[in-house]
Structure formats: C-alpha cells, structure tokens
Amino acid sequence: MPRAGHPRVKTGGPIRFADCRSGRGWLTSPAGLGGADDRVKYSVFSLARNALSEHARWPEAWRSPDPKPAYDVVIVGGGGHGLATAYYLAKEHGVTNVAVLEKGWLGGGNTGRNTTIVRSNYYLEPNAHFYEFSLKLWEGLSAELNYNVMFSQRGVLNLAHAPAEMEAYQRRGNAMRLNGIDAELLSRDQVTAMVPLLDTSPSARYPIVGGLLQPRGGTARHDAVAWGFARAADARGIDIIQNCEVMGIRREGGRVVGVETTRGFIGAKKVGICVAGHSGVLAGMAGLRLPIESHVLQALVSEPLKPVLDTVVTSGAIHYYISQSDKGELVMGGDLDGFNSYAQRGGLRIIEHVIEACLMLFPSFSRLRMLRSWGGIMDMTMDGSPIIAKLPVDGLYLNGGWCYGGFKATPGSGWVFAHTIAHDAPHPLNADFTLERFADGKLIDERGAGAIPWLQ
Ligand SMILES: Cc1cc2nc3c(=O)[nH]c(=O)nc-3n(C[C@H](O)[C@H](O)[C@H](O)COP(=O)(O)OP(=O)(O)OC[C@H]3O[C@@H](n4cnc5c(N)ncnc54)[C@H](O)[C@@H]3O)c2cc1C
C-alpha cells in the first residue's frame, strides 16, 4: 500500500515523467539536454569530419588520470552502477571531486555479462516506482549521454503456462497499470501471433495459455551503457581509474577516511560501494556482514541468425529468458548455478538446463549451434530486492544486492544513489531499500519466495 510521504504525484495516481522532471525536482534538467561535454559531441557532423581524417583524430572517450591523494567521494566499482552514480553526482548535485576505482576494466563485471533485459513490470510499490523511474531514464539515455546505448523497446513478454499463473499475471498487470506502468494481458492466440516460433500447441511440454506483455520493456547494449556513463562522467570532471583494486577501507573514530588500494591510500570523505557480487567482501573491509550471498549466473549465445525474434520472451515457470541481439545472436539464460562462488564461470549442468528450456519453447532452434557462454557473480539478497542505502559506518554507502536484475536499474540506481550520497539520506524512491529491513522484517519480497536466494 502507498505510504505517507511516498513519492507519488497524487495519492493513487500514476507516476509521470513530467512530474519526475520538474514538479518534484527529481531531474533538474530534461533528459536529452545538458549531457556530455559539447567539445566531444558525437553527431553526424563530427562523424563526417572525422571520416575525412580516416577516423584517426577522434579524441579519447575518457581520460586515464593518476589518482589524487584525496577526493570528496570515492566510488568503488566501475560497472554501470558506479559510473552512473558518479555521473549523477556531478550532474544533479555538482559534486565533481569524485573518483571511480575499478579493479579491472570498465564494464568487465556483470554490466558486460548480462542478458540486457530492461523492464519495470513489478507488483510491489517500492519496486514499481523505482524501476519505472529507471525505465523513464532509459528512454532518454542515449540523448542524455550523447552515446548510443542501443535501447530497444521491443517488449518483454512473460509466458503463462497455467490458468493460475495467468491469474497472477492479471493481478500484476492491474497493479502495474494502477502505478502508471504499461501492461497488456495476452491470450494464447495473441502470443502465437506475436511470437510464431513459440510452440503454443496444447501438447507442448509446458503448454502456453497466455502472457503478460510490457511493450515499453526491451534491451540495451550493455557495455555501451558503461562507456556512455564513463564518457559523460569524465566530461564533468570525474576521475575514472582502472586497474585499481580496493583492498581495505580505512576508518578513524568510526568514520570512513579513505581506501587502501593497489595504487596506494586514497583519502575520501565518503565511499560508495557498487561492486555487485563483491558487496560482502567490501562491506567486510569495514567490519560489516551483509545479508547477501554471491552466486554465479551464466548466459549463453547462439551463432548469429537473420532476425527471428523481435521481442524478449521469458518463462517464470521454466525460468528461462531469450532475446535476439542486434548482431543476430540469440541471447539466453536461466537459473543460478545454485552454490556460492566468486568464479566468473559456471558448470555445464545449467547450460544443459537452459538449452532444454529453449527447445521446449522453441523446437525449431534445435539445429542452432551455441557460440559461447560465460558467468557473472550475482549479489543475491534474502528478499530478492536491492540495498541502496547508508551503511552503519559514517561516510559509507552501499548500492548492491541486485540479484538477477540490476542492469535495468542502472540509470535509476545511479540517480538515487548519487542523491543518497550527496544528501546523506535516501531519496523517497530508494527509502525502502534499506539494510535494516532484514532486521525489522519490512522485506520487499516480490516473488513471495522468502529467504531463498537461489530462487529469487
Ligand atoms: C549472466 C547474467 C545475466 C543477467 N541478466 C540481466 C538482465 O537481463 N537484466 C538485468 O536487469 N540484469 C541482469 N543481470 C544483472 C546485472 O548484470 C547486474 O545486476 C548489474 O549489471 C550490476 O551492475 P554493477 O555496476 O552493480 O556491477 P558490475 O558491472 O559487476 O560492476 C562492479 C565492478 O566492481 C569491480 N570491483 C569488484 N571488487 C572491486 C574492488 N575491490 N576494487 C575495485 N573494483 C572492484 C568489478 O571489477 C566490477 O567491474 C545479469 C547478470 C548476469 C551475470
């Protein structure tokens, strides 16, 4: 139920982008304006100009500075969330004395390893408002960053395999609509017409009875998101430092004063942790234990095909999701490997399960060859929702616990985390995503599955 003070425009009314942009002051400038530095603006004119020099004179997309002795804010983790946080700190709050420290290369973590599904089809209020806000940021992101993140609103279709599942989708779809989010309930015939390659026959192993469609959902190019935010943050004066691993968090008098890194000590008044599957490791450096487990999630792609699938298809019952990339590869995934791990690779058992699910739904893909598979380290919370909050150490903040679905949150997460760091207090949009909810019992358990991280 809506709570007093929740950031809604009117009680019981939908959230609208116009209110996000101005009425509530959530965005201080319209998306598409005031983005990356004009000196390096990408446009048809700069493309033509650089073509004349055979593309030898493009400026570097971002600098590689040496770390300064100290910053106002240090962000640990150069994935989408860390880079988006740095960008919005500069853009929305004028905080530019910021470094992003990345132990490897930008986007080399989950940001560059995910299946790129973007959606806001949530049932519970905190998730619905937060992810819808993020989706609205996605809709203007390429223009905002002056970088093509290839956001493609091709729709996200959840398949229903039983009448009871259809009823649950009806309830979720209605909740979405009440929150101003697009949702359409489809019959089996409509699903068949939309995705003709699906086996919708009654004799299918998992018969399809209908589906829930979010037409504004879709996919984006994952590493372009990291690069776009990096370039735009750098243009606003943020130092992005790669190959710089944080090894310790130094505290004095109960307060954070900086981080120990492979490039020496770097002082910081505030430290924001955005390290996905390593959230527990970083929090441990400050003496904290998080209700987060690290698990491997794999994904795989087929050889490239001509266009055959123009929407994202998911099945909750089989736990399978598939889309076709712009290169033509079928991108798919399924369950976690099911045991704790920090390895960015997984076992064949899950690959086999994912392929089985693929063929149950799309028998005609049986002759495809799979091209490659990989894994990422997921930060699984006990209720399946993230933690975007101050930690109980002064000057320390956490953005983590994204489970299966943090890519779609990237712009919204960076936006509210920047607000939280700048104001030392959460924005109403992330006020519920606290660490304390695991002690006080106010869980945001979207699937009602309880504390079962491998099921979330
Ligand atoms: C296979 C797979 C499929 C997925 N599919 C989807 C999907 O379809 N849709 C969706 O919304 N989400 C999906 N996700 C989840 C999504 O990818 C993540 O939630 C999201 O990308 C997390 O972004 P991030 O910036 O927090 O983390 P990351 O991109 O992992 O960035 C964290 C960075 O921190 C760095 N780091 C770690 N420790 C340190 C240290 N000590 N010092 C310095 N740097 C450090 C890492 O090197 C890494 O680059 C998927 C994930 C995987 C693995």
- pLDDT per residue as tens digits for the range 27-46: 333 333 334 454 568 999 99
Phi, psi (rounded to 5 degrees) for 126: -60, -45
Mean pLDDT of 396-421: 97
pLDDT at 97 over 60: yes
Mean pLDDT of 406-425: 98
- What pLDDT sits at residue 176? 98
Ligand 1 center–CA 111 separation, angstroms: 5
Ligand 1 center–CA 219 separation, angstroms: 16
pLDDT tens digits, one per residue of 376-404: 999 999 999 999 999 999 999 999 999 99
CATH number reported for the structural domain that contains residue 428 in this entry = 3.50.50.60
With the most atoms of ligand 1 within 8 angstroms of its CB, the residue from 156, 262, 275 to mutate is 275
- What pLDDT sits at residue 178? 98
What domain range is 339 assigned to?
70-456
Under the banding of pLDDT at 50, 70 and 90, the label for residue 447 is confident
CA 178, 179, 180, 184 torsion: positive or negative? negative
pLDDT at 333 over 60: yes
Under the banding of pLDDT at 50, 70 and 90, the label for residue 6 is very low
Classify residue 41: in a domain, yes or no.
Answer: no
% of the chain at pLDDT higher than 90: 87
Instruction: Specify the residue for token string 């006020």.
Output: 431
Ligand 1 center–CA 64 separation, angstroms: 22
| Separation between Cα atoms, residue 349 and residue 111, nearest integer Å | 24
- What pLDDT sits at residue 379? 96
Instruction: Specify the residue for token string 């209110």.
Output: 19
Nearest CA to 6 out of 430, 327, 370, 294 is that of 430
Instruction: Decide which of 8 and 297 is more confident.
Output: 297
Please tell me the residue having the least CA distance from ligand 1 atom 12.
405
- What pLDDT sits at residue 456? 62
Instruction: Specify the residue for token string 């320390």.
Output: 396
Mean pLDDT of 51-72: 95
Closest ligand 1 atom, CA of 399? 26
Phi, psi (rounded to 5 degrees) for 421: -70, -45
Closest ligand 1 atom, CA of 112? 29
- Around Cβ 316, how many Cβ atoms within 10 Å? 16
pLDDT at 20 over 70: no
pLDDT at 455 over 80: no
Nearest CA to 456 out of 301, 292, 311 is that of 292
pLDDT tens digits, one per residue of 153-205: 999 999 999 999 999 999 999 999 999 999 999 999 999 999 999 999 999 99
pLDDT at 61 over 50: yes
Ligand 1 center–CA 20 separation, angstroms: 27
Classify residue 35: in a domain, yes or no.
Answer: no
- What pLDDT sits at residue 166? 97
Instruction: Specify the residue for token string 């299946």.
Output: 115
Classify residue 26: in a domain, yes or no.
Answer: no
Closest ligand 1 atom, CA of 321? 8
Most distant CA pair in the chain: distance in Å? Answer: 67
Ligand 1 center–CA 110 separation, angstroms: 3
Classify residue 62: in a domain, yes or no.
Answer: no
Classify residue 4: in a domain, yes or no.
Answer: no
pLDDT tens digits, one per residue of 258-272: 999 999 999 999 999
Beta bridge partners of 70: 267
pLDDT at 303 over 70: yes
| Separation between Cα atoms, residue 181 and residue 260, nearest integer Å | 44
250, 239 contact by CB (below 8 A) = no
Classify residue 219: in a domain, yes or no.
Answer: yes
pLDDT at 26 over 90: no
Under the banding of pLDDT at 50, 70 and 90, the label for residue 3 is very low
Nearest CA to 81 out of 280, 273, 217, 271 is that of 273
Domain count, the chain: 1
Ligand 1 center–CA 377 separation, angstroms: 7
- What pLDDT sits at residue 448? 77
142, 209 contact by CB (below 8 A) = no
Residue-averaged pLDDT of the chain: 91
Mean pLDDT of 404-410: 97
Please tell me the residue having the least CA distance from ligand 1 atom 50.
114
With the most atoms of ligand 1 within 8 angstroms of its CB, the residue from 83, 87, 103, 110 to mutate is 110
- What pLDDT sits at residue 12? 34
pLDDT at 285 over 60: yes
Ligand 1 center–CA 396 separation, angstroms: 20
Classify residue 52: in a domain, yes or no.
Answer: no
- What pLDDT sits at residue 452? 73
Least confident of 6-10, 97-101, 115-119, 333-337: 6-10
Ligand 1 center–CA 347 separation, angstroms: 19
Under the banding of pLDDT at 50, 70 and 90, the label for residue 227 is very high
- Three-state secondary structure readout of the chain: CCCCCCCCCCCCCCCCHHHHHHHCCCCCCCCCCCCCCHHHCCCHHHHHHHHHCCCCCCCCCCCCCCCCCEEEEEEECCCHHHHHHHHHHHHHHCCCCEEEECCCCCCCCHHHCCCCEECCCCCCHHHHHHHHHHHHHHHCHHHHHCCCCCCECCCEEEEECCHHHHHHHHHHHHHHHHCCCCCEEEEHHHHHHHCCCCCCCCCCCCCCCEEEEECCCEECCHHHHHHHHHHHHHHCCCEEECCCCEEEEEEECCEEEEEEECCEEEEEEEEEECCHHHHHHHHHHCCCCCCEEEEEEEEEEECCCCCCCCCEEEECCCCEEEEECCCCCEEEEEEEEEEECCCCCCCHHHHHHHHHHHHHHCHHHHHCCEEEEEEEEEEEECCCCCEEEECCCECEEEEECCCCCCCCCHHHHHHHHHHHHHHCCCCHHHCCCCCCHHHHCCCCCCCCCCCCHHHC
With the most atoms of ligand 1 within 8 angstroms of its CB, the residue from 114, 130, 417 to mutate is 114
- What pLDDT sits at residue 449? 72
Who lines ligand 1 at CB under 6 A?
76-82, 101-104, 108-111, 113-117, 245-246, 274-276, 278, 297-299, 333, 376, 378, 402, 404-408
Closest ligand 1 atom, CA of 408? 11
Ligand 1 center–CA 405 separation, angstroms: 10
Classify residue 59: in a domain, yes or no.
Answer: no
